[in-house]
């Protein structure tokens, strides 16, 4: 019996762009997560390179930075980035909470999130805001449960930005004012208190955070009194702008 012989072509690309094109082409017939397919898009390479000097590691190649020993808290996946931008830039925290995978699976939503029309810095700022909110919720004096923190974080991030800027629909350029900004505890506590009232009145569950009713209630609250702590908000706007 003659041994089988196979002809194998080994390609060693010199450029990252060439390697990504090969990965995308060879994976087109294999079922893989949407984030892995999207990872070869140029915008994700740009985000990765932009964030690295700030000590933030954009994990477009899954587990790359974990395997390199980078701090877990400094690693951001593509789905996590999509959630942050959906909640803060597009002001849809319900969608961010409900459908992290489909945000990058559907072309229409994906292109709203990852676009060259946004300043590249908005991706870093969005992640920093989410991480600041998550840290505050984790150490909150009310001992908020893990489930409730997970359900509230995107709503808190959206509203605290709106409140600080005194604007219910801040633009990406306005959100960039938060590049070096730490939200005052007073403002965060005020926003959390107001959001928890709506959250608990609607059932305080995963479905509450994923459904549309909570966002509708929040918008109604904000339309009636968008600046829930006017003194703190005015101070925040001044502090944000003074950092520029």
- Give the 3-state secondary structure of residue 47: helix
The DSSP 8-state label assigned to residue 161 in this structure reads H
**Using CA atoms, how far apart are residues 27 and 230, in angstroms rounded to an integer?**
53
**Using CA atoms, how far apart are residues 73 and 153, in angstroms rounded to an integer?**
16
Question: 185-201 and 230-242 are packed helices; what angle lies between their axes, rounded to 10 degrees?
Answer: 130
- Give the 3-state secondary structure of residue 76: strand
Q: pLDDT tens digits for 102-155?
A: 778 888 889 999 999 999 999 999 999 999 999 999 999 889 999 999 999 999
Report pTM: 0.81
Looking at per-residue pLDDT, the higher value among 243 and 22 belongs to 22
11 found inside a domain: no
- Give the 3-state secondary structure of residue 216: helix
How many domains does the structure of the chain reveal? 1
Domain span at residue 197 reads 32-242
25 found inside a domain: no
27 found inside a domain: no
**Using CA atoms, how far apart are residues 128 and 99, in angstroms rounded to an integer?**
21
Q: What are phi and psi of 193, to 5 degrees?
A: -60, -45
- The model's confidence at residue 6, banded by pLDDT at 50, 70 and 90, is low
Q: pLDDT tens digits for 176-233?
A: 999 989 999 999 999 999 999 999 999 999 999 999 999 999 988 877 555 544 444 4
- In sign, the C-alpha dihedral spanning 223, 225, 228, 231 is positive
205 found inside a domain: yes
12 found inside a domain: no
199-202 long-range contacts (CB < 8 A, ≥24 apart) are: 199/148, 199/151, 199/152, 199/155
**Using CA atoms, how far apart are residues 19 and 29, in angstroms rounded to an integer?**
17
């Amino acid at each position: 019996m003659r041994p089988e012989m196979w002809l194998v072509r080994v390609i060693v690309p010199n450029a990252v762009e060439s390697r990504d094109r090969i990965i995308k082409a060879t994976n087109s017939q294999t079922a893989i997560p949407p984030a892995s397919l999207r990872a070869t898009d140029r915008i994700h390479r740009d985000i990765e390179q932009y964030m690295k000097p700030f000590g933030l590691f954009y994990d477009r190649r899954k587990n790359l930075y974990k395997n390199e020993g980078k701090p877990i808290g400094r690693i951001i996946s593509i789905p996590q980035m999509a959630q942050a931008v959906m909640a803060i830039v597009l002001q849809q925290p319900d969608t961010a909470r409900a459908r992290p995978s489909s945000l990058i699976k559907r072309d229409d939503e994906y292109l709203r999130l990852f676009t060259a029309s946004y300043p590249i810095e908005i991706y870093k700022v969005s992640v920093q805001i989410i991480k600041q909110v998550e840290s505050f919720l984790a150490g909150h004096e009310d001992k908020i449960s893990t489930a409730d923190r997970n359900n509230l974080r995107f709503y808190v991030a959206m509203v605290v930005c709106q409140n600080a800027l005194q604007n219910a629909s801040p633009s990406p350029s306005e959100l960039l004012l938060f590049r070096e900004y730490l939200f005052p505890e007073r403002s965060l506590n005020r926003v959390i208190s107001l959001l928890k009232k709506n959250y608990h009145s609607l059932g305080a569950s995963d479905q509450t955070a994923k459904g549309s009713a909570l966002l509708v209630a929040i918008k109604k609250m904000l339309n009636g009194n968008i600046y829930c702590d006017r003194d703190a908000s005015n101070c925040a706007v001044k502090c944000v702008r003074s950092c520029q």
